[in-house]
Structure 1
Amino acid sequence: MEPTNTSAPLNASNLDVGHCNAHCRMILTTLYSVVFLGGTAGAVMMSRMMLKRNTQSMIATIVLNIIVLHSILLVSLPFRLSYYVLVTWEFGYFTCRLVSSIIYCHMYLTFVFYVAIVIFRLLIYFKKLQLQQLKKYHAVVLSIIIWIVGSLIFLPIFLLLYGTSSSYSEQQRCFEFYKDFNHREFIILNYSMIAIMMTVVVTLFLIQMGVIVQLIKVLWPDLWAHQEYRAQIKSCFFLLVIVVCFIPHHAFRVHFLQNYSEGENSELVLYNEIFVALTTVCCLDMLCFVGGVIH
């Protein structure tokens, strides 16, 4: 993914240099294929399950938003798979920017909805919020606010800043937007997002573990017979998805920001691509629910 000299013949060998060699492409193709197939199956089955139950709860509405986010990402994955299989980008520069930005929009908005579920359940546990007070329109209003705020944050970045550097190749190459990390505003933005996500996850994880330990002490040994315990375990599942899928990317991003320099560190770029791909694995969350991994 280093700058390309467009006067030189463009072939698979050239693309391997600094971007993604055959081994890297195999890893990414396998990972994206599993996510695409498993995520699509999970989204379809979970949607059917929710329609049959006609659930009106606030949590169900938030889960529906997550399914919509997953679906948007899943639609973009065949474009990525085509690129890694064919080793060339055939869909134009704007589409490249769009497909590349979707993966980040999906990650951060999914993170917000995951956190919303965890916070709501914690508020109910600590008696700060009554379940009877939560109506479907509350969830709809919250969802609209999150989508609007997300759009106001990501659309300007995508339209005005992301991928607009003159150093990008507009022919047959894609996903080189890590070059923006040479710009001060993107470095500040990335460190800010890393700090926010790490702080929120650590705080919620400690609170969640404290709640679960307390419930174990009170409800042992009939833990699974109590809805309150099962609800907190589900919240813990969402936090676990964040830790497995999102935190490694952000932890590595710190190392990437400190060591990346354009024209060097091609291996660093390869690892960055793999950690970015790992964030899409969260699309398998609905498959876990449908498959009974978490009830």
Structure 2
Amino acid sequence: MEKINTTVLSNTSKRDLDHSNVHGRVILITLYGMVLVGGTTGAVMMSRLMFKRSTRSMIATIVINIIVLHSILLVSLPFRLSYYVLVTWELGSFTCRVVSGIIYGHMYFTFVFYVAIVILRLLIYFKKLQMQQLKKYHGVVLSIIIWIVGSLIFLPIFFLQYGVHPRYSEQQQCFEFYKDLNRTEFIIMNYSIIAVIMTMVVTLFLIQMVVIVQLMKALWPDMWAHQEYRAQIKSFFFLLVILVCFIPHHVFRVYFIQNYTDRKDSELVFYNEICIALTTICCLDMLCFVSGVIH
């Protein structure tokens, strides 16, 4: 009788797991599909808009970098969608690592460029920089520095540490590199990144709120007529994108590291995948600009 009950419970658990997997894949397919369509539309429309205006400002140069990052991520999304639809990976372990690594590279590089825009506008507001001093070549130099420094940090981790364990090449599954989180060096690296990002975001958010409140008091009720106020609102929008898209992933990552066990039926894996998918929603930022959501 006990053996029969165990078998029944096992079968029930398996059916629940299968249902959960299907439900999770539907959510992921929906999220990535929405980002692919909306992000591509926004990137194309924003690119055409900037080409027509021939903007030469430093901020515009940084925005171009963000569009490039979004485009790289959008190219990789069909591979993710095909995997969640077919539930098998036929393109080899290295391709899986590349597609998986792109989503993290996109997140961190985009975060840096977002922060660069916010800091530049805050420096201009506090009279530490003059807008007239910021030329296009300053943006180009800053962009090159970010790409070089970021690549020197990211690429060695990707090629030497990320998903290199032989067990990953022996299966037709992909995007399961979270199993490496039980390694001490990865735990330390993740906690360090999370601490830096959280500290930076909280600090910038508080400063940005103070600036916006000061401008509202000084310019009320015609604050929308002033370019300075609109510029700070755009910076605030980028901070909101970080809070909505990037912070949930990093907050959950702390919980994931502390509670993950190497079990295939762990619900934490599903929630982790959802948080990773949420980071791609930032690709809709350009669509918000061109559609008039953010003026």
TM-score where L is the length of structure 2: 0.93
- The question of whether the paired residues in 1 share the 8 Å contact of 2:29 and 2:85 is answered with yes
Q: Judge conservation of contact 1:69–1:106 (CA < 8 Å) in 2.
A: yes
Paired with 2:193 and 2:147, the residues of 1 have a C-alpha distance of 18
Assess if the C-alpha contact under 8 Å between 2:93 and 2:168 holds in 1: no
In the alignment, what sits opposite 1:167? 167
- Helix, strand or coil at the partner of 1:263: coil
Match of 1:86 in 2: 86
Specify the alignment match of 1:7 in structure 2.
none
Q: For each residue in 1:48-103, what CA deviation from the matched residue of structure 2 results, as whole angstroms up to 9, or x when unmatched?
A: 00000000000000000000000000000000000000111111110000000000
> How far off is 1:264 after superposition?
6.2
User: 1:118 touches 1:235 (CA, 8 Å); kept in 2?
Assistant: yes
Higher helix share: 2
In structure 2, the residue matched to 1:52 is 52
Q: Does 1:27 align with 2:34?
A: no
User: How far is the alpha carbon of 1:19 from its aligned partner?
Assistant: 11
Do 1:245 and 1:282's aligned partners in 2 also have CA atoms closer than 8 Å?
yes
Paired amino acid for 2:96: C
Q: How does 1:19-168 map to 2 (within 5 A)?
A: 21-168=21-168
CA distance in 2, matches of 1:277, 1:79: 14
Q: Tell me the amino acid that sits aligned with residue 104 of structure 2.
A: Y
Q: Show the counterpart of 1:263.
A: 263
Distance (whole Å) between structure 1 residues aligned to residue 211 and residue 53 of structure 2: 29
Q: Is the 8 A contact 1:19 1:266 kept in 2?
A: no
Question: What SS does the aligned partner of 1:129 have?
Answer: coil
- The amino acid across from 1:253 in the alignment is R
Once residues 238 and 245 of structure 1 are traced to their aligned partners in structure 2, the CA distance between those partners, rounded to angstroms, is: 10
Counterpart AA for 2:165:
S
Q: Distance in 2 between matches of 1:37 and 1:217?
A: 40
| Deviations, residues 152-183 of structure 1 (Å, cap 9, x unaligned) | 11110110000012332533110110011011
Distance 1:243 1:167, change over 3 A: same
Q: Which has the larger radius of gyration?
A: 2
CA contact (8 A) 1:256 1:272 kept: yes
Structure 2 match to 1:5: none
**Percent of aligned positions that are identical:** 78
- The aligned length equals 281
Q: In the alignment, is the contact (CA less than 8 A) between 2:62 and 2:139 conserved in 1?
A: yes
Q: Aligned in 2, Cα 1:265/1:259: closer, same or farther, shift over 3 Å? A: farther
- Cα distance in 1 between the residues matched to 2:154 and 2:266: 27
Structure 2 counterpart SS, 1:168: helix
Mapping 1:148-227, distance limit 5 Å: 148-227=148-227
Q: Which runs of 5+ in 2 are unaligned?
A: 1-13
Equivalent position of 2:277 in the other structure: 277
AA in 1 matched with 2:272:
N
> What letter corresponds to residue 283 of structure 2 in structure 1?
C
Deviations 1:258-288 (A, max 9, x none): 1012136610011000000000000000000
Cα distance between partner residues in 2 of 1:182 and 1:169 = 19
Paired residues of 1:18 and 1:269 also in contact (CA < 8 A): no
Give 2:294's aligned amino acid: I
Q: Which moved more, 1:58-67 or 1:158-167?
A: 158-167
SS in 1 for 2:261: coil
| Runs of 5+ unmatched residues, structure 1 | 1-13
**Could you tell me whether the CA contact under 8 Å between 1:79 and 1:99 is conserved in 2?**
yes
In 1, Cα distance between the equivalents of 2:64 and 2:187?
A: 33
**Which consecutive segments of 4 or more residues in structure 1 shift more than 2 A?**
16-20, 166-171
**Which amino acid in structure 2 is aligned with residue 79 of structure 1?**
F
CA shift at 1:223, angstroms?
0.8
- TM-score, normalised with respect to structure 1: 0.93
